[in-house]
Structures are given as structure tokens and as C-alpha cells.
């Protein structure tokens, strides 16, 4: 009997390391793990062995995909990677989940009580046996880094903007993408929707767009002032993944103690910094957990406070002036948010029983005992496998953009994302390259071994293979079928 686990990821810097911790716990229980960027795995949904899938989200717009996984006799589980900080609107989790998708899922895992309780307010008619507060592998990774890595705090201030909307002059690109995730394939058709939730989401998204554009300009003015106030500190700007570096490089003159860098691991950046100045960033929670002074700089109209997540507000000190930032950084003690952290995260210290262990224990209970053995060498060399991969990519790279010309016909609305690629001069390939760089077998093995604690026996028997599409098959070779 083979126990198979499939972990499709999207953004390498954000998701890979926490996922590797999950892989390690699965290997200890003798699972075979398939892991890679989601576009490397999705072409093979029907041909991969019957498995437990661990998805990073089940947004309404991915219903066709989730239905395909379910119809192929796989078991679906999910932990929403963005579940900790949803939009600041009533029933915000309807943007991340739907009754249709929940019905197809075996287990939904939660970051902590806050995530679980707010989910239940939006989805009251749910079988509670599907729901489990395990904590998140992402949060565990933050904690592990805090405890294990002996990195000294420098005289450094980390600035973390979140201005993905400010990266484009066309707000409709962002609106189309937000509503595509929601399953609404034609944004123009719902502008006059009578749905209260849809109206709230449109208003929120448009307000968020305005807020980011204005806050971006305020941060352009802020940075030289911070550099001047803290001349003996390094001031490091870490742009959001959706931000073009040019939007900062072209606006800020060269300053001796200022640099722009998003190449480092985010945990390392936070760990070596004394304070974090941000705008509505998820990294504010991580920074608070790692014991840093967390400052939300907000000098724009108060109406834009409505776009700031309540979680972010709770873990941050809101400052409206540079002098307030200076006082906060120079004071000896930081604000204590430990009680609130315990509410939003299941774990805030380095525990023996991690989220990864709890999640894998659940996999052990639900997996399909009839799962078959999978021959990776045969799969890698088969004509069918190569055909499926190239067919899937041809459909998405060429046919979908063409069919998107006909989205005025209801049947073709499902191809609206192709219209986004055409209208805004972008592509799937460009998006993929931005989110995921190639990893060699050697580097993947190195990443796994780095995260294994003192389990020498497991270290010896890890086998890593790579599929031609780019995903990895990782096994414990000590396990005998």
C-alpha cells in the first residue's frame, strides 16, 4: 500500500519552506510526496495516483479545478494561505471559500480560533467534522526560524509596502483578477449587482486601490525622512512580489543608508531588523510573532483605514507622523500583543506538536487505503504524460486567450482570464517565472535536509526525483511496500 500526498504551490518564496516541513512529517509516516508549482502538477490530475491533495486555497473561481480533482477520486484538504488576513468586509471569507467547493473537500484546516470563528460566521450550514484548527505550517515556520536561527538584530529598519495595485495605472486589471478568483468571470456584468456581498467587495476593492495609490506616494516621501532621522541605521525596502522595482528605484534618489532588496528570505529580513514599518502587510503578524516593533505608517485620509485588516491593526502601532515612528523605534519596550497572537495563531512558541504533525496525523486517518503504487520512471518517459503536459500548456497559453474574445457568450465566460492576459499584455509564462524559479534535485534535497532535526535515519533514506515538468517526487526509501 502506498500513501500519496500532493502539494501544489504557487509562490516559491512564500510557500516552499513551510511545505517542506509538511513533507518531512509525511516522510516520517512513509508517505510519497509530490510537490511543485501548481502549473507543474495540474496537467496530471487524472493520471497521478489516488492521493490526498493539500491545496493552498479553494477560492470560488477554482471550482472547475477542484471538481476535476474530486472527480478523479482524490481526497482534497486545504489550508488557506491568505486565511489570516482576509478583506475587511462582512462575510469576507466568501471571497476565499464557497459552499460548492466546501462540499467537495474532506478537511479544512485553520490558522487558529480567529480564522475558524470568522469562517463559521460566513458558512453556518457546514458539517463541522470537516473543520480542524491545526495551526498553519507557515506560522510554524516563522516560529522555527525564530528559535533555531541564531541571527543578531542589526541597527536596521525594514520597510514593507504592499502596493500591488500601485504597480499599474489600470485598476480594472486588479478588479478583474479579484473577481475572477471569486468565480465572477465578467466584472463589467456585475457592476450593478444587487448582492450586498458583491457590492461590498467592489467598494472595498476600489477603496483599496485608491488607498494603495495614495499610500505609495506617502511612502516615497517617508523613506528619505526615515533615512535622515536614523542615519546610523540601515533602511531596507522590501517590495511586494507584485510591485515593479522600478516604481521605487526611479522615485527615490540614492541615499547612503538606503537599499532595496527582496532577494532574502523574508524571515531573515525580519529577524535581523529592529523594527518594521509597513502598510497592511501579512508580514506584520510574522514580525510581531518574532518580537519586533511593528509600525503601520498611515498618513492618508482616515476613510482608508477601512481597507486595513483588523488583524493588522491589532498587531501594529499606527503612526501618522515621522516623529511618531521615531519615538516608537527609539523607546525601549515594544507593545505586548501576546494575548491577541494566541487568539489568531494556534501556536506562538516552539512546540513539539507542530501544525505539520497534526495535519499529517489527519492525513493518516482519511487517506485511501487502496491507493496504488506509482512508477515515476515510467510516468516520466511515457508519451501520454508528455502529451498531457504540452496539451495543457497549449490550451492555457493559446486557446484560452483566443476563446476569451467570446466571453460575451455565457458558455465562454469561463475563459475570461485569457482576456486579462490579452488586455494587460501579460501571460501565464510571465506570471509563472515571477512566482517560481527552477530548483535542481540537489537543491531540493539540500532544503529538506536543512529542515530535518536530528533524525539521522530519515536523512539517509530520503530519495528525491524530478519530473520533466518540474515537480518533485520525494520518498522515504527505507519504507518497504
Is residue 143 within 8 A of residue 203, CB to CB? The reply is no
pLDDT score recorded for residue 424: 61
Going by C-beta distance under 8 Å and a sequence separation of 6 or more, which residues neighbour residue 60? 94, 95, 97, 98, 100, 101, 181, 182, 183
- In this prediction, residues 240-267 reach a mean pLDDT of 84
The H or E element that residue 156 is part of is strand 156-160
| Residue with cell string 474532506 | 106
- What digits encode the pLDDT tens for the residues 32-80? 999 999 999 999 999 999 999 999 999 988 898 999 999 999 999 999 9
The H or E element that residue 140 is part of is helix 137-148
- In this prediction, residues 2-27 reach a mean pLDDT of 92
Would you say how long the chain is, in residues? 481
Going by C-beta distance under 8 Å and a sequence separation of 6 or more, which residues neighbour residue 196? none
pLDDT score recorded for residue 371: 58
Task: Compute the 3-state secondary structure of the chain and give helix, strand, coil in percent, each to the nearest 5.
Answer: 50, 15, 35
pLDDT for residue 244 is more than 90: no
- What digits encode the pLDDT tens for the residues 405-419? 777 777 776 676 666
Q: What's the CA gap between 158 and 274, in Å, rounded?
A: 8
Angle between helices 322-330 and 196-229 (to 10 degrees): 70
The helix/strand/coil state of 259 is strand
pLDDT score recorded for residue 481: 40
pLDDT score recorded for residue 348: 86
Residue scoring higher pLDDT (406 or 321): 321
Q: Which residues pair with residue 260 across a beta bridge? A: 237
Q: Assign 246 a pLDDT band (cuts: 50, 70, 90).
A: confident
Q: What's the CA gap between 339 and 9, in Å, rounded?
A: 31
pLDDT for residue 187 is more than 70: no
Q: Which three cell numbers stand for residue 419?
A: 482576456
Is residue 148 within 8 A of residue 172, CB to CB? The reply is no
End-to-end CA distance of the chain: 6
For the stretch 270-288, what's the b/e string if a residue is b when 16 or more beta carbons lie within 10 angstroms of its beta carbon? bbbbbbbbbbbbbbbbbbb
Q: Which three cell numbers stand for residue 271?
A: 529577524
Q: Assign 421 a pLDDT band (cuts: 50, 70, 90).
A: low
pLDDT for residue 124 is more than 70: yes
> How would DSSP label each residue in 188-211?
GGGTT---HHHHHHHHHHHHHHHH
- What digits encode the pLDDT tens for the residues 287-302? 999 989 999 999 999 9
Chain CA centroid to CA 233, Å: 31
pLDDT score recorded for residue 243: 76
Q: What's the CA gap between 106 and 72, in Å, rounded?
A: 14
Cα separations in angstroms, 67 against 72, 73, 268, 283, 392: 9, 10, 38, 32, 17
- In this prediction, residues 377-383 reach a mean pLDDT of 76
pLDDT score recorded for residue 480: 47
Q: Which residues pair with residue 258 across a beta bridge? A: 235
pLDDT for residue 458 is more than 90: no
Q: Assign 191 a pLDDT band (cuts: 50, 70, 90).
A: low
* Virtual torsion, Cα 11, 12, 17, 20, nearest 10 deg: 90
Amino acid at each position: 500500500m502506498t500513501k500519496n500526498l500532493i502539494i501544489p504551490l504557487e509562490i516559491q518564496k512564500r510557500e516552499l519552506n513551510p511545505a517542506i516541513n509538511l513533507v518531512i512529517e509525511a516522510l516520517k509516516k512513509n508517505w510519497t510526496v509530490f510537490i511543485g508549482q501548481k502549473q507543474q502538477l495540474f496537467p496530471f490530475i487524472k493520471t497521478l495516483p489516488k492521493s490526498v491533495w493539500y491545496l493552498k486555497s479553494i477560492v470560488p473561481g477554482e471550482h472547475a479545478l477542484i471538481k476535476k480533482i474530486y472527480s478523479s477520486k482524490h481526497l482534497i484538504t486545504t489550508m488557506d494561505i491568505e486565511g489570516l488576513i482576509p478583506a475587511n468586509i462582512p462575510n469576507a471569507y466568501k471571497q476565499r471559500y464557497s459552499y460548492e467547493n466546501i462540499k467537495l473537500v474532506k478537511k479544512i484546516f485553520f490558522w487558529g480560533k480567529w480564522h475558524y470563528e470568522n469562517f463559521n460566521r460566513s458558512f453556518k450550514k457546514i458539517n463541522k467534522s470537516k473543520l480542524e484548527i491545526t495551526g498553519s505550517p507557515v506560522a510554524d515556520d516563522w516560529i522555527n526560524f525564530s528559535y533555531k536561527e541564531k541571527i543578531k538584530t542589526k541597527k536596521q529598519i525594514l520597510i514593507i509596502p504592499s502596493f500591488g495595485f500601485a504597480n499599474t495605472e489600470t485598476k480594472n486589471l486588479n478588479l478583474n483578477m479579484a473577481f475572477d478568483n471569486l468565480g465572477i468571470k465578467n466584472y463589467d456584468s456585475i457592476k450593478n449587482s444587487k448582492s450586498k456581498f458583491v457590492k461590498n467587495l467592489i467598494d472595498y476593492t476600489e477603496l483599496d486601490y485608491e488607498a494603495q495609490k495614495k499610500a505609495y506616494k506617502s511612502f516615497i516621501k517617508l523613506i528619505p525622512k526615515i533615512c535622515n532621522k536614523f542615519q546610523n541605521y540601515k533602511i531596507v525596502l522590501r517590495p511586494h512580489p507584485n510591485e515593479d522595482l522600478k516604481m521605487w528605484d526611479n522615485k527615490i534618489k540614492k541615499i547612503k543608508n538606503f537599499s532595496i532588496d527582496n532577494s532574502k528570505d523574508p524571515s531573515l529580513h525580519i529577524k535581523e531588523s529592529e523594527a518594521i514599518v509597513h502598510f497592511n502587510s501579512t508580514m506584520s503578524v510574522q514580525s510581531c510573532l518574532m518580537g519586533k516593533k511593528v509600525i503601520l505608517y498611515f498618513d492618508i485620509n482616515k476613510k482608508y483605514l477601512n481597507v486595513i485588516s483588523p488583524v493588522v491593526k491589532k498587531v501594529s502601532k499606527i503612526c501618522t507622523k515621522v516623529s511618531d515612528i521615531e519615538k516608537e523605534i527609539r523607546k525601549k519596550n515594544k507593545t505586548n500583543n501576546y494575548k491577541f497572537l494566541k487568539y489568531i495563531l494556534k501556536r506562538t512558541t516552539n512546540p513539539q506538536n507542530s501544525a505539520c504533525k497534526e495535519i499529517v496525523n489527519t492525513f493518516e486517518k482519511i487517506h485511501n487505503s487502496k491507493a496504488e503504487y506509482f512508477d515515476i520512471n515510467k510516468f516520466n518517459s511515457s508519451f501520454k504524460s508528455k502529451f498531457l503536459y504540452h496539451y495543457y500548456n497549449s490550451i492555457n497559453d493559446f486557446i484560452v486567450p483566443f476563446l476569451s474574445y467570446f466571453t460575451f457568450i455565457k458558455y465562454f465566460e469561463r475563459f475570461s482570464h485569457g482576456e486579462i492576459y490579452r488586455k494587460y499584455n501579460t501571460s501565464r509564462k510571465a506570471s509563472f517565472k515571477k512566482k517560481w524559479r527552477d530548483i535542481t534535485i540537489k537543491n531540493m534535497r539540500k532544503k529538506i535536509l536543512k529542515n530535518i532535526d536530528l533524525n539521522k535515519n530519515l536523512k539517509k533514506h530520503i530519495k528525491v526525483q524530478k519530473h520533466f515538468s518540474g515537480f518533485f517526487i520525494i520518498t522515504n526509501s527505507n519504507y518497504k511496500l
